[in-house]
Amino acid sequence: MSPISGVGVSGAGRASFEAKDMIARADIASHAEPSKGSASRFLLVLLGFLGVLVFLGLGIWQLERRVWKLDLIARVDQRIHASVVDAPGPSTWADIDAAGFEYRHVRLAGQFQGANTLVQAVTELGGGYWVLTPMRSDRGFTVLVNRGFVPQERKAEFERENAALTSPASVDGLLRISEPGGGFLRSNEPAADRWYSRDVAAIAKARGLTDVAPYFVDAGLLGPDSWPRGGLTVVKFRNAHLVYALTWFALAAMLAMALARPIVAGRGQRKAPR
């Protein structure tokens, strides 16, 4: 339904300057005269050795993170393409988390009730809004359904829409975890009905909803010309852990080479003829 690509942790670049400074200090220490600050030279060498161990440890950690990320991508891919299951009921809500439930392919049957909530969004169709509508499940609880995307010019139409239906409805889609707080570097403003993230608890409170599931459902595509336009969920994971690991290992190698210079130079002097 959605492409999966390789989320990594940034930070290796921020350490490059400190690492290069440490390497430079180690290089200076390797050329210092024995009579000038031997204690300081020893301290710098010791710090450099510890730096090598730290960089190696960070590289190994990034490799472990890469294994975890690849496993996560595989599990999510399996969930998306698995057979549809009923949306989780109240008995399992306490156990729902991103690692075990997000992107499950679920089905929900019931009746849409209440007003829409429009959440700012940017999709492959441009800027606009997600249309979230509460559905009262035929199993007795409420789920916020992201029915899909509408462009800016259709905002007023769906702000006025009364989503209450007289006939039952069903939704097939992907289970998503609540997005508390906000998005686009802005906080949600419930009092002003301005929403920048799909914050289930805040929207439920603002709309006076009860028995609300702690997740929402991204509805699938109903038709190529339908609005709201469903099926726009992007399942994308950034997996740059191998690059970060190689960066840490390279820094460890550079620092180790700087520390090895005085040893190599000392051996050369001892072998030189008098």
Q: What's the mean pLDDT in 23-43?
A: 59
Note the pLDDT of residue 31.
Answer: 53
pLDDT of residue 8: 43
Q: 140 — phi, psi (to 5°)?
A: 95, 10
Long-range contacts of 221-227 (CB under 8 A, 24+ apart): 221/148, 222/148, 226/148, 227/148, 227/150, 227/154, 227/158
Q: Give alpha helix (H) positions in 148-190.
A: 155-160
**39-46: average pLDDT:** 76
Q: pLDDT tens digits, residue range 250-266?
A: 998 988 888 877 666 65
Q: Which of 175, 191, 219 delimits the end of a domain?
A: 219
Q: What is the mean pLDDT of residues 88-107?
A: 87
How far is it, in rounded angstroms, from Cα 96 to Cα 149?
Answer: 25
Q: Nearest CA to 129 among 160, 103, 162, 154?
A: 154
Query: Has residue 162 got a pLDDT over 70?
Result: no
- 28 domain-assigned: yes
142 pLDDT tier (thresholds 50, 70, 90) = very high
Least confident stretch, 44-58, 90-104, 153-167, 204-218: 153-167
Label residue 4 by pLDDT band (50, 70, 90).
Answer: very low
Same domain? 250 vs 200 = no
Cα→Cα distances 119→14, 71, 81, Å: 34, 31, 27
Q: Does residue 215 sit in the same domain as residue 254?
A: no
Section 183-207 average pLDDT: 86
Q: What pLDDT does 3 receive?
A: 44
- Asked, for residue 228, whether it belongs to a domain, the answer is no
Q: Are residues 192 and 259 in the same domain?
A: no
Which pLDDT value is given to residue 234?
67
Residue 215 and residue 119 share a domain: yes
1 belongs to a structural domain: no
Do 49 and 108 lie in one domain? The reply is no
Q: Within a domain: residue 229? A: no
- Bigger pLDDT: 235 vs 164: 235
Kindly indicate the confidence band of residue 165, based on its pLDDT and cuts at 50, 70 and 90. Answer: low
110 and 215 co-located in one domain: yes
Does residue 91 form part of some domain? no
The domain of 135 spans 104-219
Q: Are residues 243 and 215 in the same domain?
A: no
User: Residue 5 falls within a domain, yes or no?
Assistant: no
Tell me if 7 is assigned to some domain.
Answer: no
205 and 144, same structural domain?
Answer: yes
Tokens standing for residue 206: 């603002």
Statement to judge: residues 108 and 213 lie in one domain? yes
Q: Is the pTM of this model over 0.75?
A: no
Q: Are residues 210 and 243 in the same domain?
A: no
Rounded Cα–Cα distance for residues 32 and 124 (Å): 60
* Whether residues 166 and 246 fall in one domain: no
The whole-number pLDDT of residue 9 equals 42
Higher pLDDT, 22 or 48: 48
What is the rounded average pLDDT for all residues in the chain?
78
| Cβ 247 vs Cβ 14: under 8 Å | no
Total domains present in the chain: 2
Tell me what the mean pLDDT of segment 166-171 comes to.
74
65 and 17 assigned to the same domain: yes
